[in-house]
Structure 1
């Protein structure tokens, strides 16, 4: 594991037990940005709770969140649930698929007993850059896991996206976090596995199952290695210079021209076959607008540091 980006704080609690006498609804808040799978996480949890006979209320906001906007989902379950939304300061668990979104929603978590599980993934919007040049200083949350620990009783900062990438599918990061969540809530492992596999595409069951187990294993290791909460600092966002590189899958491009029209640097065009093409790579800042806005996932931006380029050339 990458000790600098996978951190457990105050990780010495037992799974939360549920029973029919649960007086108040149990509240789980899932937050992130468009394209990360926030809604899938909430549906898995809601399905599990419903299978146990709990009344379940789920509320979500994702309207304009296509590829990069804010997404959040409330899941409440218990013998009786009246409201679908979680009051501020009443979330028992906060699951965040993006670091800044996790920090933004911290006030909704119970201060004394809340559990915070967050991917260290940082999705920095283009307008957070103080200049348009690659490597520019960004206005982005700089809080570390150590600082967050002062506000919650139990916290996990997991580099779930990197873990999923190593499995061959970065979109499985949300399932890595589900694996982590499964160690916090007292639903049986077979129930978790059966429910997760029912919500993922059949062709991705193997990689998602591996991601789920990876999340569980990481939490188990974290609780063993950091029983007292002694941790290293979470790295703050860095401003290492990089070179932007676009990967365009021509077979997926539908010639909609969204990327061309909305590119801030006007460095994209459609070629003779009406396929998106980068015509001015020196102008590309790696802002990722084209990647986030492409409805067919045909564009992916890579921000290559000098060290990464040298490593790839070996």
Structure 2
């Protein structure tokens, strides 16, 4: 047939009609589903071998508290770092960051006094009001607890090198003044607001040599003692002391290929769900194939090919 207002003719060619074969798609989704299930089950199984202890409650007190924990040796991998982190429920640290409660330019400065802000991050012309530490509520509400972990024979050396390597070698975010503060990496870890209601921060890692030494001396049960001390309070709006959290949860953990126990399990679970959905789509395409066969569509296509 001739197209209107055109010198060209249009014709339908039977052999150029695409052949829709549901079996091809069912095969693709079968492979995706099978691989996802294999990967998911593998990561879920590996998450069982990653250490994550039940939380130990540290009450808000300057008095030292002693906590004893027993861990089976098969739960600990001595060749991986053993870390300690603390958690605060319903703290909503990210909400505090919406107010002007930190100054990034102050973090990256060579000298805190070069940024003319007071302790509330407000601009000031009075040099005596400029603090010698980061300004704002995020810094003021930082956790200053002390944690010691060890066995009956040895108190482990805790390595506070907990930040990304880029943060330690670069001054783009944390400058020279920030890095001169005591335990600056723990402070920097706190200064990154958590997006969740629960705040989870790393405190430090056990020295690898100490862990291997004690691991070889222990029997089937790895007995650990955690000493915690510190209060989480500061100056309130009216100048009166304000308690920020009544207690902290202390957790021991190790990491795997994708992170901690919960992250590895979550990735495995998502892979299993994706695999099940893929296999479900595979069954759907197989059903479509048999429906089309029943209606004789494939038979008609074969007749076109013969012609």
- Shorter-chain TM-score tier: under 0.3
TM-score w.r.t. the length of structure 2 is 0.23
More helix by share: 2
Tell me: higher relative CO, structure 1 or 2? Use CA pairs within 8 A at least 6 residues apart: 2
TM-score w.r.t. the length of structure 1 is 0.23
Larger Rg: 2
